[in-house]
Amino acid sequence: MNKIIFLTCCTGVLAALFALPAAGQPAADTLTRKLLGRWEMLSYSEQGVQVNKKAPALPQALMVYEHVRWQRARQWYGFYDADDFSRRENRAFEHWLERDSAIEVRRVAEAIAMPYFVTFFPDSTLSLYNKDAATGQVYFPEARQYVFSPEHRSIRIFMPGGFALQWHAQVLLLTADRMTLFLPEDAEVVELVKTNYAFP
């Protein structure tokens, strides 16, 4: 009789242990609760250059332009080799480069400086938008759907309708107030911080 009681107790203890999450692994619902809410982007990759949205935007925009200058020249101007240009063509190209750099650096600086928000809702929908800090004006709002897999620490983000996969993000860090994602398609690291759950 004592053996039966002992075995019953052991079975109950083992069942309780197996019901607990693995050591060091938060429960799936805990991670999901941490994910839900509004996040502000702190850093991301702008055309292959990691930028910090809380740092001065203009120097970073200049670095981005230097990184993509010749790619833009080939794509938008048809430039390949200055040795093949006549002096007049070189002058025309230099004028184009000045105009292009002024316009693109300003555009990239504005993109870096403007706050960007990502909001995860409990119904598996996702909202993304820029919001001008001075005026409160919302720009480029987008809607997506997502599937969060806590056990794989990944987030799949789809276009509305759930058919076309847009991003497959690996969750490197997820706490109550910080999240770091890796987007393998672009080898990009995105850092976000949780903000007040206010809309838009």
Domain ranges of the chain: 28-53+115-194, 57-111
Question: How far, CA to CA in Å, does 160 sit from each of 71, 102, 117?
Answer: 32, 36, 18
pTM: 0.77
Q: Which amino acid is at 101?
A: S
| More confident site: 12 or 197 | 197
CATH tag for 28-53+115-194 (out of 2.40.128.280, 1.20.140.10, 3.10.580.10, 3.40.605.10): 2.40.128.280
| More confident site: 89 or 14 | 89
Q: What is the pLDDT of residue 80?
A: 64
* Omega within 30 of 0 (cis) for the link into 200: yes
- For the chain, give the mean pLDDT: 84
Q: What is the pLDDT of residue 20?
A: 40
Q: What is the pLDDT of residue 76?
A: 84
Tell how far CA 142 is from the center of its chain: 14
Mean pLDDT of 59-83: 86
Say if residue 16's pLDDT is above 80. no
| More confident site: 17 or 21 | 21
